[in-house]
Structure 1
Amino acid sequence: MAGAGGIKIDIDARQIGAVGDKFARAKARMPAAMAHAVATVGPVAMGAMKRELPAQTGLQRKTIDKALKGAVRGPTYVIKSKGGNIRLKYFRARETAEGVSAAPWNARKVFPQTFIMAGWWPNRTKPIARGQVLRRKGKAKYPMEVVKSGLYIAEEMVTGPSAAAFYNTVAMLLPSIIEGVITGAIIGGGAEKAAQDAAAADVLKRYSHVSLNDPLPF
């Protein structure tokens, strides 16, 4: 307010206290807000990764879905991969006269001295081991071994297009969702769960048209 001697500014300490209380509440709620944001973005990012892996590995999408599972662990999202060295059977294997043709890393080639069927050519119609690709260990008929590809999903998911899709999705969505949760549910004082869900839904809707190969929008 203005006075005879100049300008006087009055500050209501109660207002400062109210702001301080909001920030104190915000600090207390941040862990839960972060966990909610991660739980929202994690499955979306894993879905982006799964879309890239079939072309990257040569595996069918249903195989990828069985192998990868995601779970929320507090403020982190963990993706676990089952299985090790993937058997050649799962790479669209088919028998030829020269050996089995299969496509690990989505690059088809023939693996000499391997087979799937029993019998003499050209009447080989019965798989020996439910479609597994086999190779004899020596010159004798037995023993035989199942042929594997050398490809590990756990290694593929953290390299190449699949890793880029995952991290691009996180970078695209997570900051905006966290910002919405902070301003809406925490600082704004709204209903926390409803504001969190609204913030997440808004961001996912705004970026639903963006291709993972596009430049990031910020």
Structure 2
Amino acid sequence: MEIRVDVRDDVLKRFGNKLAALGDGQAAVVMSRALNHEGDKGRTQVKRVLVKQTGIKYGLIHKAMRTVYSTPATLTYTLVARGDETNIALFGARQGKRGVSAAPWGRRHVFKSTFIVGRYGGKVYKRIGPARFPLKQVFGPNIARELLKGETVATFKAGSSSIADRVAHELSRVIEE
């Protein structure tokens, strides 16, 4: 899935003449620099919101996300998140009498009839049937899915409003040279 923010109309209205004076190549460089700068600021905000939204630590979110930067040829800034499932053991899981207590999505909850298996990396499991095996892992939030939900999308789109101001800054740098 993709979140698309198109600011071309706003930027072209404000800076059409200056961008045309620079020529296609230099104008694309200016736009690309502005996209990368504002995209990085937006990426930081998205990661912070994901920490609050999912309960996953910032370092794990940082590892799971990758950035595809804008070039003068592409003029797109993309955030890519790995779609790995996260076991609820990552969320302060504690074994209790009734099951495992963990805090995915920032709320502590007891997962009934679950247990922690130290031999399998301390992950949380649940029996599928009445027999001892098979076991099924219990999963929490998925970063790739959470990236496309509510507050995260709103945060990324809010950052796009300052791209036009950044284009003005980059234009002033190029014109002064």
TM-score band by shorter chain is 0.7 to 0.9
Work out the CA distance in 2 between the residues paired with 1:34 and 1:23: 12
Work out the CA distance in 2 between the residues paired with 1:28 and 1:52: 36
Shift of 1:63: 1.5
Task: Please identify the structure whose Cα radius of gyration is greater.
Answer: 1
CA contact (8 A) 1:116 1:128 kept: no
Shift of 1:166: 1.9
Q: Structure 1: where are the runs of 5+ without partners? A: 1-19, 118-126, 192-218
CA contact (8 A) 2:35 2:70 kept: no
Specify which structure has the bigger relative contact order, considering alpha-carbon pairs within 8 angstroms and separated by 6 or more residues. Answer: 2
CA contact (8 A) 1:26 1:182 kept: no
Q: Does 1:136 align with 2:122?
A: no
- Count of matched residue positions in the alignment of Structure 1 and Structure 2: 158
Instruction: Give the structure 1 partner of residue 157 of structure 2.
Output: 167
Instruction: Give the structure 2 partner of residue 152 of structure 1.
Output: 142
Q: Deviations over 1:126-151 (max 9, x none)?
A: x23111001122222222222112x3
CA contact (8 A) 2:94 2:102 kept: yes
TM-score with structure 2 length normalisation?
0.79
Q: Deviations over 1:103-124 (max 9, x none)?
A: 222122111111004xxxxxxx
| SS of equivalent to 1:145 | strand
Q: Deviations over 1:47-95 (max 9, x none)?
A: 0111111111111112111111112142111111113332222222211
Instruction: Give the structure 2 partner of residue 50 of structure 1.
Output: 47
1:19-58 matches, within 5 Å, as 23-58=20-55
Work out the CA distance in 2 between the residues paired with 1:108 and 1:78: 33
RMSD: 2.2
Q: Structure 2: where are the runs of 5+ without partners? A: 1-16
Specify the code of the residue in structure 2 equivalent to 1:156: E
Work out the CA distance in 2 between the residues paired with 1:107 and 1:45: 26
Identity %: 29
Instruction: Give the structure 2 partner of residue 108 of structure 1.
Output: 108
Structure with greater helix percent = 2
Instruction: Give the structure 2 partner of residue 190 of structure 1.
Output: 176
| SS of equivalent to 1:100 | strand
